[in-house]
Amino acid sequence: MRIGNFPLNSYSPQTINKPAATDNTPTAVNEQQSAGFGDQVTQAIDNVDALQKNASSMATKVAAGNTDDTHKAIIAMEHSLMALDFTIQVRNKTLEAYQEIMKTQM
């Protein structure tokens, strides 16, 4: 199921992109390791931002009376809220893990 251009399952564990093992040379392995996690985090944040912009756009259209799809606007808003909540929880867990690591090193 899709809302606009955004799939509803964009944050399920089954759809997380994993780096492709195309080449086992040391340069290719280092590029995959350095770009993989950061790119995924950036992509996830960009997806959340796009979901929020889409929901805002749909809500504006409904408020202006330009569309009758109020149910799609509400679904888009709930989807963007769930994505934001998920992102905040991941951030909180990451900070907790970092704080725990810092405690064990001292």
pLDDT digits (tens, 9 = 90+) for 2-23: 555 555 555 544 454 544 555 5
Tell me the residue type at 84: L
The pLDDT score that the predictor gives to residue 64 is 92
Helix, strand or coil for residue 41?
Answer: helix
Q: Tens of pLDDT along 77-95? A: 999 999 999 999 999 999 9
In sequence order, what E strands does the chain have?
2-3, 6-7
The pLDDT score that the predictor gives to residue 13 is 46
Instruction: Give the Cα separation of 76 and 82 in Å (integer).
Output: 10
Q: How many CA atoms lie within 13 A of 86 on its CB side?
A: 18
Closest CA to 85 of 11, 17, 13, 18: 11
Q: Tens of pLDDT along 35-79? A: 688 888 899 999 999 999 999 999 999 999 998 889 999 999 999
The reported pTM is 0.61
Q: Give percent above pLDDT 70 in the chain.
A: 65
- For residue 7, how far is the Cα from the chain centroid? 11
Closest CA to 6 of 49, 51, 72: 51
The pLDDT score that the predictor gives to residue 99 is 92
